[in-house]
Amino acid sequence: MASAGVTSAAGAAMHLVDYTDPAAIKQVPTRNGFGEGLVEAGRRDERIIAICADLSESTRMEAFKKTFPQRYIEIGVAEQMLVAMAAGLAAAGKIPFIASYAMFNPGRSWEQVRTTMALNESDVKIAGAHAGVSVGPDGATHQAIEDIAIMRVIPKMTVVVPCDSAQTKQATLAVAGRFGPTYLRFARAESAVVTTDQTPFEIGTAQTFRDGDDVAVVACGILVYNALVAAELARKDGIECRVVNNHTIKPMDEAAILAAARDCGTIVSVEEHQVHGGMGSRVAEIVAAHDPVPMEFIGVHDRFGQSGSPPELTEEYGMGVTAILAAIKRAHGRKRAARG
């Protein structure tokens, strides 16, 4: 996939696809990137094994299963045992990736994740698939919109939410080579691919995908694309937005967040998750401690999910381009009001 002429110097340096041209954007599920990355990680390191809770096709562990059948374990619908087994194998020197829907792992297995895995600093990588309301018709029972909150509070836990399928592949390879308990979150539905194989990626280092000093839009996951589109629309109203791909929730890039707060004077957080306790809450904690600025929060506002198509649900829960643009304008107005 070739990098195209994006409108931002920062975006060009990031080797992004031209997100201003809908024809240049491919739609690929982020889970595909996980499957591809896991196979490549397995080729690089024979210690890597995969354990799945009866969802190998849905989570895209199927390719690893076929490529390395002796390093794949199917445990069935037993998510607590999934975590416990992985922690034991990690203690024996393996690097287990464990996969299920995020609602079930870490959702159903949180106590085992906390006590068996993280407390012992086990080198286990949780792949939380089908996160967010964009799961679609499966509805509230399968839509994990609280998982960032429950994972980021666990000591020693790394939490990564890549923005598209290409970056999910990069993130999978990165967490495979980094010791420690890790949660990698990705989605089910097709979503826009804005990065390429040449786009830099480093755990704990946020990326500026678009320059601007009027409003900082700090986003993660598949909504990064919506944030970029909204930022281009805001330009028509004379508002230049900085768009930050904040892919690592923990450890978060505090320097990048504080630079955005200082340079722009206001922040809009964007995530496919509850606004309470999620990525935006962590951003707010950072700026409140060092450089308070007005903030707007895009995400799910204290509601459960429901059945519907991914685009319908994204709009219903106020996470579409129009909602982000409105939040940008509110944030810009609050910034001007604060300055008198």
Q: What pLDDT score was predicted for residue 335? A: 84
Report yes or no on 80 lying in a domain.
yes
* Phi and psi, residue 198, nearest 5°: -90, -5
Q: Which domain holds residue 113?
A: 27-193
- CATH number for the domain including 99? 3.40.50.970
Q: Is residue 242 part of a domain?
A: yes
pLDDT in tens, 101-135: 999 999 999 999 999 999 999 999 999 999 999 99
Are residues 137 and 178 both part of a single domain? Answer: yes
**What is d(CA 310, CA 215) in angstroms, rounded to the nearest whole number?**
27
53 shares its domain with 164: yes
Kindly state whether residues 120 and 171 are assigned to the same domain.
Answer: yes
**Per-residue pLDDT reduced to its tens digit, 149-182:** 999 999 999 999 999 999 999 999 999 999 999 9
Q: Does residue 178 sit in the same domain as residue 207?
A: no
Query: One-letter amino acid identity for 291?
Result: D
Please check whether residues 166 and 252 belong to one and the same domain: no
Residue with tokens 């190998």: 56
Q: Residues 47, 96: one domain?
A: yes
Backbone angles phi, psi at 121, to 5 degrees: 50, 45
User: In sequence order, which ranges of the chain are alpha helices (DSSP H)?
Assistant: 9-13, 30-44, 56-59, 62-67, 79-91, 110-112, 147-152, 165-176, 223-235, 254-264, 279-290, 310-316, 321-338
Preceding peptide of 251 cis, ω within 30°: yes
Same domain membership, residue 221 and residue 134: no
Quote the number of domains for the chain.
2
My answer on whether 87 and 163 are in the same domain is yes
Task: Read off the DSSP letter of residue 240.
Answer: P
Tokens of 70: 């002796």
Q: What is the pLDDT of residue 4?
A: 39
**Phi and psi torsions of 207, nearest 5°:** -125, 130
Are residue 188 and residue 275 in the same domain, yes or no? Answer: no
In this structure, what are the phi and psi dihedrals at residue 258, rounded to the nearest 5 degrees? -70, -35
Beta bridge partners of 285: none
- 320-335: average pLDDT: 96
| 120 & 251 share domain | no
Q: Quick one: average pLDDT of 333-340? A: 76
Q: Which member of 79, 146, 272, 296 is catalytic?
A: 79
- Given 159, 193, 227, the domain boundary residue is 193
The answer to whether residues 284 and 254 belong to one domain is yes
Question: Do the domain assignments include residue 5?
Answer: no
In a domain? residue 4 = no
Q: Which tens digits make up the pLDDT trace of 181-222?
A: 999 999 999 999 999 999 999 999 999 999 999 999 999 999
Residue 160 identity (one-letter amino acid) = V
12 — pLDDT class (breaks 50, 70, 90)? low
Report pLDDT for 13. 74
In a domain, 6, yes or no: no
The percentage of residues in the chain with a pLDDT greater than 90, rounded to a whole number, is: 94
Is residue 22 in some structural domain? no
The whole-angstrom distance between residue 33's C-alpha and the CA centroid of its chain comes to 13
Say how many C-beta atoms besides its own lie within 10 A of residue 29's C-beta: 22
- Please report whether residue 3 resides in a domain: no
At residue 339, the pLDDT reads 67
pTM score of the predicted model? 0.95
79 is catalytic: yes
Residue 218 domain-assigned? yes
What angle is formed at CA 242 by the lines to CA 324 and CA 167, rounded to 5 degrees? Answer: 85
Per-residue pLDDT at 62: 98
Of 149, 160, 148, 156, the residue nearest 202 (C-alpha): 160
Domain end call among 193, 222, 239: 193
CATH code: domain of residue 245: 3.40.50.920
Among the candidates 193, 226, 254, a domain finishes at 193
What is the Cα 154 distance to its own chain's centre?
17
Total Cβ atoms within 10 A of residue 170: 23
Shared domain for 163 and 81, answered yes or no, is yes
